[in-house]
Structure formats: structure tokens, C-alpha cells
Amino acid sequence: MSGSTAPELVTALIDAQRLGFLGARPIPDVVAHARGFVRALRAYGQVETVLDLGAGGGVPGLVVAHDLPDLQVTLLDRRAKRTDFLERVVRRLGWADRVSVICADVESFVPTDPFDAVMARGFGPPEFTLSVAAQLVRVGGPMVISEPPDADRWDEAVLARLGVRRVTDPLTAPLAEALSPTSESTGDLDGLVAVFVTR
């Protein structure tokens, strides 16, 4: 389903942008970037539950839910205005059976079980984002985090302290494609994500 985007989802993302929940990038670019998360999650076939940290206007969570309808997606954000919006969108799209919206601060959020995967786009500083994700993901589950196009912001000492490693070695060949920009890309950030797992 990742080749096209449902008009209802595009409308929801336009609404999110109009309300100030997404940046000013064109919606096709926003969707293309979110599909970097989709490719990374696909590379890990054992993923059934995924958490979107700081879901904001629904990116990448809504795009992941659109492209990977077998996943149970949880959208977490601390701002009620955004989660109210996301709940309306999820109901309108008919996804309430597989997409949950939670209004909570991540530091007080305690899931019943760890998630198979955690993803974050613009959630916070790298070390904080990764430390939070590592607490919420199952052992060995991927943590997929949006990556700037022009710098490696992951200090090896920080990764070692957090007990995670960046997935870039030859043993994870399927991720090489997931970590590279898509041919559909129209902007610098499209498709760029970093994937980590616990050591």
C-alpha cells in the first residue's frame, strides 16, 4: 500500500499542518520521509506493536498505520489538543481497532508490555530520545529515529552507556535499503532514519 496514499490520510495531514501540528514541508515530502520508518519496520518482520513517541500531527504514526495495516500502532503525545485531533482522525479513518492514541507525558507512561518497535520524529535531543525508546521497546526490538541528512549525531560513548547499538553492520543487510533515501524522495530528509537495537 506504500506506493499511494489514501486521500483521507492526506486530508488529515493537511489539517494537522493547518493546526500547527506539522512543519511547513509539503505533505508529499512529509509522507515520503515517514516511509523511511515504514521500510525500517518492514525489515524487521517480527514487529506487531509499535509506539510513535511524540506523535504530534500523526507523522510517522499515521503513515505507518496506513502502509502497514497489520501493525498495532500507539500514538503517544503529552498535549491533549494534539491527541484529541489524532483520536478524531483515527475514528474518521476507521482505524480505532488497530491505532491507539494516548495523552501522557512519556516519563509517566507505563505500558502493559514493551513494544516490538519504537519510533520518533523530532521528539527531543538524541540521547533523551534513545534512552526513552530503549525503556519502552522489547529486547532486540528496533528503535527507529529520524535522522538529519548532514551529520552523524550519535556519540559512540552515549550508545554504549545506553546499552544500544546502531544497526549498520553487514549482518543486517535488509536494513541497508531501509536506511537509505527512497527513489521517490523530493527533499533532503526524505527516508533518512537511524535504527538502533539493544545490545
The pLDDT assigned to 186 comes to 34
The answer to whether position 39 is within a domain reads yes
> What pLDDT is attached to residue 2?
46
Find the largest Cα–Cα distance for the chain: 45
The tens place of each residue's pLDDT in the chain, 199 residues long, gives 445 778 999 999 999 999 999 988 999 999 999 999 999 999 887 899 999 999 999 999 999 999 999 999 999 999 999 999 999 999 999 999 999 999 999 999 999 999 999 999 988 888 999 999 999 999 989 999 987 766 677 888 989 999 999 885 433 434 444 444 343 433 333 458 888 998 7
Would 1 be classed as within a structural domain?
A: no
What pTM value is reported for the model?
0.86
Q: Which amino acid is at 24?
A: A
CATH of the domain at 70: 3.40.50.150
Range of the domain at 87: 7-198
In a domain, residue 68? The reply is yes
For 153, the grid coordinates are: 549525531
Whether 52 is covered by a domain: the verdict is yes
Is residue 17 situated within a structural domain?
yes
Count of the separate structural domains present in the chain: 1
Locate the DSSP E strands across the chain: 49-53, 72-77, 99-103, 117-120, 143-146, 164-166, 193-198
Query: Does residue 28 lie within any of the structural domains?
Result: yes
Phi, psi of 196 (to 5 degrees): -125, 155
The three-state secondary structure class of 134 is helix
Residue 2 domain-assigned (yes or no):
no
Residue 33 is assigned to a structural domain of this protein: yes
